[in-house]
Amino acid sequence: MTMRTTAASLLALALASGGTAAGAQTLEYWVYSDFAQGEALALQQDFIKEFQESHPGVTVNIVGKGDDDLTAGQIAGAASGNLPDVFMNAVGVGAQLVDVGALANIHDKWMAMPEEFRAQFNKGAVENCAPRPEEMYCIPYTGYGTLLFRNLTVLEEAGIDTSAPPADWADWLAQMEKVKAAGKFAIPDQALVFNSIAEMYGVTGDVSTWGIDWESKTTRIDPAVMTSVLEKFVAMQPLTSGTSRNDQATKDLFVTNQLAFHTIGPWVNPTYVEAVENSGLKYDFVLMPGETADKHGGIKNFEIVGVAPGENLDLAFEFATYITAKEQMARWAKLLSRYNSNDAAMAEADVAALPLVARSVAAVEVTMDVSPPYLIQPVPACYQSTVVDYVSATADGEFTPEEGAAEMIAELNDCLAG
């Protein structure tokens, strides 16, 4: 069966599951701002054109918004009754959107789709969207797993063999110390951002001791694991650049051969590809090492497509299933060389051959969710800020690792009980 035939069949089945393509209707479609410019926008417009051609009388208006504006607009729209019909966001925001009524429960519509379609998606990403029996609030879309970007010039000048990635945490730390001794920065300050702290927790722990137990309203963080993680932050502190993983200054240090390692998602790769051409940057990307050679650190995170409740729900769901289907997600992956949550698309030969996609698929398999479980309750703001505060304070010497872990867990439980 060709891609074109499969896509047409899915549209027909979506119609049969309760949708309608008849009559003049307009869908408002909100996307991330970087998906609404350049080549990404052109491909999104292709998807829209194809959908409109198969749905006479239907118009889809695409609007790009920054991360914070997406969330603020969806929350405000739920309050005013003026929601976009189809929209993107991070799965970690999902509980807040459910809480305000911005996300429709699409469980029955999802189950009415053919197994051929439902089986395309990453199983864990689907489970994230379905927090309870008979509930599902999103369709998995894009995502990432942590990659360790390595500046090969910095490493080689420090006398490090770059033919293989660090074998484990001890090997990685030894390499960072050599980089510092050579007068360069080893790594950004991982204590400054919750996601980089989560990445480091994954070096020692796993998802079974990470996140929140909503029934008891307590943190799942294990004190022994967190103590070990805080010991790593203490060891790294004198080796860091003082910038966070998200800062432009971090990328500047990397491309000017002042920084050895950058743990982050694949979105930085275009900047580094450009630096290869402009300044001769030598770099690669590997999986983040773990405590032992058979383990990996890092996180995985997913973006979602949601559908708003309301009179356009049926048509909006059809459009959402069209843009997330294998055929469209394979085209999306090839254009951006980026991972997405459609496993069938990732398995297409010309997609799987892309180095960044292949490494990202591997990363998603071995990393832990950044803030599980999803779509249960909104995470209070005090939770992530408490983690950052205690990790930073411990790295700076205000607490021993044991004290920092104990104080952090106690305050997190107070935060959740509050």
What DSSP string runs through 318-346? Answer: HHHHHHHSHHHHHHHHHHHT--BSBHHHH
Cβ neighbours around 321 below 10 Å, total: 25
| 331 in any annotated domain | yes
d(CA 106, CA 128): 14
Residues 131 and 65 in one domain: yes
- Does any domain span residue 334? yes
Give the pLDDT mean for 186-193. 98
Averaged pLDDT, 157-172: 98
Which pLDDT band holds residue 367 (cuts at 50, 70, 90)? very high
- pLDDT class for 23, splitting at 50, 70, 90? low
Judgement on whether residues 330 and 398 belong to the same structural domain of the protein: no
Task: Indicate whether 11 belongs to any domain.
Answer: no
What's the token pair of residue 233? 């932050």
- Is the per-residue pLDDT at 283 higher than 80? yes
Asked if residue 152 and residue 139 are part of one domain, the reply reads no
The three-class DSSP label of residue 349 is helix
pLDDT of res. 317: 98
Average pLDDT over residues 273-278: 97
As a whole number, mean pLDDT of residues 218-237 equals: 98
- Mean pLDDT for the stretch of residues 257-269: 97
Which residues does residue 86 pair with via DSSP β-bridges, in sequence order? 29, 307
Confidence of residue 18 (pLDDT cuts 50, 70, 90): very low
Q: What percent of the chain has pLDDT over 70?
A: 94
The Cα–Cα gap between 356 and 379 comes to 31
pLDDT at 21 over 70: no
Q: Both 336 and 258 in a single domain?
A: no
Q: What value does the mean pLDDT take over residues 39-49? A: 97
1 found inside a domain: no
Confidence of residue 365 (pLDDT cuts 50, 70, 90): very high
Does residue 288 sit in the same domain as residue 398? yes
Cis amide leading into 373 (omega within 30) = yes
When pLDDT is averaged across residues 244-255 and rounded to a whole number, the result is 98
**E strands, 78-173, where?**
86-90, 139-145, 147-151
Please give the Cα distance from 367 to 347 (Å, whole number).
19
How many beta carbons lie within 10 A of that of residue 185, not counting itself?
A: 23
Q: 98 pLDDT band (50/70/90 cuts)?
A: very high
Q: Specify if 254 maps to a domain.
A: yes
Please indicate, yes or no, whether residues 359 and 385 belong to a single structural domain of this protein: no
Confidence check: pLDDT of 79 > 70 = yes
pLDDT tier at 56, thresholds 50, 70, 90? very high
CA angle (354 as vertex; 271, 327 as ends), nearest 5? 110
Q: Are residues 410 and 362 in the same domain?
A: no
pLDDT of residue 96: 97
Query: Looking at the 3D structure of the chain, how many domains does it have?
Result: 2
CA 265 to chain centre: 8
Residues 6+ apart with CB under 8 A from 174: none
> Whole-angstrom Cα distance, residue 164 to residue 151?
13
Which residue range forms the structural domain that includes residue 58? 25-144+301-369
Residues 6+ apart with CB under 8 A from 114: 10, 13
Arithmetic mean of pLDDT, 98-110: 98
Lowest mean pLDDT among 18-27, 184-193, 226-235, 320-329: 18-27
Least confident of 17-26, 134-143, 211-220, 263-272: 17-26
**pLDDT value at position 19?**
43
Mean pLDDT value across residues 26-49: 97
Residue 51 within any structural domain of the chain: yes
pLDDT at 174 over 90: yes
pLDDT band (50, 70, 90) for residue 22: very low
Q: What integer is the mean pLDDT of 397-414?
A: 98
Give the pair of three-digit tokens for residue 82. Answer: 């003026």
In terms of domains, do 121 and 49 share one? Answer: yes
Same domain, 197 and 160: yes
Q: Which contacts (CB < 8 Å, 24+ apart) does range 16-23 have? A: 17/109, 17/112, 17/113, 18/109, 18/112, 18/314, 19/314, 19/315, 19/317, 19/318, 20/314, 20/315, 21/54, 21/55, 21/56, 21/57, 21/58, 21/315, 21/318, 22/56, 22/57, 23/57
Q: Check whether residue 242 and residue 103 sit in a common domain.
A: no
- Is residue 217 situated within a structural domain? yes
Instruction: Report the phi/psi class of residue 298: left, alpha or beta, with left for phi > 0 and alpha for psi in -120 to 50.
Output: left
Q: What is the per-residue pLDDT for 24?
A: 86
43 and 93, same domain (yes or no): yes
pLDDT for 17 equals: 42
In a domain, 108, yes or no: yes
153, 253 contact by CB (below 8 A): no
Largest alpha-carbon pair distance within the chain?
69
| CATH code for the domain of 40 | 3.40.190.10
What whole-number percentage of the chain has pLDDT above 90? Answer: 94
* Statement to judge: residues 139 and 157 lie in one domain: no
